[in-house]
Amino acid sequence: MIEKKIKEVILCKYGEVILKGANRSDFEAKMLKQLRLRAKRIGNYKIFYAQSTVYIEPLDQDAIDKIEEMTYQAKHVFGFVAVSRAFACEKNMDTILEVVRTYIPERLKGYKTFKAEAKRADKRFPLKSPEISAEVGGAVLSSVPKIKVDIHNPEIVVRVEIRDQEAYIHAGQEKGAGGIPYGCSGKGLLLLSGGIDSPVAGFMMAKRGVELEAIHFESYPYTSERAKEKVLDLAKQLTNYTMRMRVHVVSLTKIQELLRDNCEEEYFTLLLRRYMMAISLKIAHEYGCEALITGESLGQVASQTMKAINVTNVLADIPVYRPLIGMDKDEIVQISRKIGTFETSVLPYEDCCTVFTPRHPRTRPELEKVIEQENKLDFNALVNEAFENREAVVVMAFKDHKSE
């Protein structure tokens, strides 16, 4: 029988953060902050780090009951590559084997093959890693009917970690969010539409540590209130990773109507995108964003040819990041499904870019001719008016969003 109390804890393993030098503590602090913000809304947990692992320990029964939810939250914190629910016990081989026989069979249900691995971080432990693995493997075979060892391609791995304070036993390590901690790479403004691409672009930059602010362009009444809600829902899904995001909602209706009435149709989309770029830049500067982020993929649509992108890019006085630029649609959709935005993105609500769409848009535009069309209207006045009339909506994980 097990004499000492067994604790179930969550282990969060570092990814590339482990390679950081003198500033590693700053990265760790941001990861811990994200975890503690999430834990605060779930239950009473002790969170600490040691030996390139963060430990999340439930401190009462309510926290134990919600450990699955806390595990889900931990998997959405950038910087961790693996998350495991583990059993912690004293560093005694008899106790370790009893834990394996008692608790691990439940984790192995439905699996046909496994292998045992051991990591002996505490070198004072009397058995070496291969010896620990052999004994643990034997304990699994004796307690789980029909399961077999496969050291080359196992369906699941049973791991034992001998660390400074305790031993940790777990099976079925889950993949973490990866990347580097959110907020350690500056702040960017995401141009967030209701499509598949832009939420993926936001996710990819957030994964590289960029704090996200967002802007969404609407064309009410040509686009509906539900189309706007769809975009806020997408922002909400991204807060699974970011916790919070402010979305600036800007109306383009007046600008689009003036373009329709005064400019040549084939230039409409290009002119509209220049207005979007200029308004985005004003908001970026207002809120301390160091870059714009778009979901453009080269050649995907007429406005995303190399020449068309350059027509809008020349306005930018800060970098414009396009993390999807070389990806095809299938690759983007795969990530969209993975982060949970796909089903919302494909809901059939209008997008401002589909309003007054030209029948034959320019794909190889000349900048001089675009500016010639643009000069038919007071560009700066319209940009400033749209900027001043924007609405800001704060979207938060765990809470309903609210207007500022």
pLDDT above 70 as % of the chain: 96
pLDDT of residue 362: 74
Please check whether residues 238 and 264 belong to one and the same domain.
yes
End-of-domain residue from the set 140, 175, 210: 175
If asked whether residues 166 and 191 sit together in one domain, one would say: no
- Class of residue 15 by CB neighbours under 10 A (exposed 0-12, middle 13-18, buried 19+): middle
Q: Please say if the pLDDT value at position 4 is more than 60.
A: no
pLDDT digits (tens, 9 = 90+) for 25-50: 999 999 999 999 999 999 999 999 98
Is residue 371 one of the residues assigned to a domain?
Answer: yes
User: What is d(CA 229, CA 349) in angstroms, rounded to the nearest whole number?
Assistant: 10
Q: Sheet of 320-321: strands edge to edge?
A: 320-321, 291-293, 187-191, 211-218, 244-251, 391-396, 402-403
In whole angstroms, give the CA distance from residue 404 to residue 391.
8
**pLDDT score recorded for residue 316:** 96
Strand pairing of 148-149 and 391-396? unpaired
Would you state the pLDDT for residue 47? 96
Give the tens place of pLDDT for each residue, 52-65: 899 999 999 999 99
Range with the poorest average pLDDT among 212-216, 255-259, 347-351, 353-357: 353-357
Same domain, 252 and 149: no
pLDDT tens digits for 5-17?
Answer: 789 999 999 999 9
369 and 313: one domain? yes
Is the torsion defined by CA of 314, 320, 326, 330 positive or negative?
negative
The pLDDT of residue 349 is 72
Of 175, 204, 220, at which residue does a domain stop? 175
Q: Per the structure, how many domains does the chain have?
A: 2
The chain-wide mean pLDDT, for the chain, equals 93
pLDDT of residue 352: 62
Looking at the structure, do residues 131 and 22 belong to the same domain, yes or no? yes
Q: Give the model's pLDDT for residue 3.
A: 47
Q: Tens digits of per-residue pLDDT, 220-247?
A: 888 888 999 999 999 999 999 999 999 9
How confident is the model at residue 355, as a pLDDT? 63
DSSP state of 116: E
Q: Is residue 266 part of a domain?
A: yes
As a whole number, mean pLDDT of residues 371-375 equals 95
Mean pLDDT of 134-139: 97
Q: Which of 121, 152, 175 is the last residue of a domain?
A: 175
Confidence of residue 324 (pLDDT cuts 50, 70, 90): very high
Q: Please determine, for residue 2, whether its predicted confidence score (pLDDT) is greater than 60.
A: no
Q: Is the pLDDT of residue 19 over 50?
A: yes
Mean pLDDT of 119-137: 96
Q: Same domain, yes or no, for 240 and 147? A: no
Q: Are residues 275 and 238 in the same domain?
A: yes
Q: Name the H helices within 122-222.
A: 129-143, 197-207
Above pLDDT 90, what percent of the chain? 84
Q: Is the pLDDT of residue 123 over 80?
A: yes
- 């777990």: which residue's tokens? 170
Q: What is the torsional sign of CA 107, 86, 156, 241?
A: positive
Which residues form the domain of 212? 187-403
pLDDT of residue 279 exceeding 70, the answer is yes
| Pair (380, 255) in one structural domain | yes
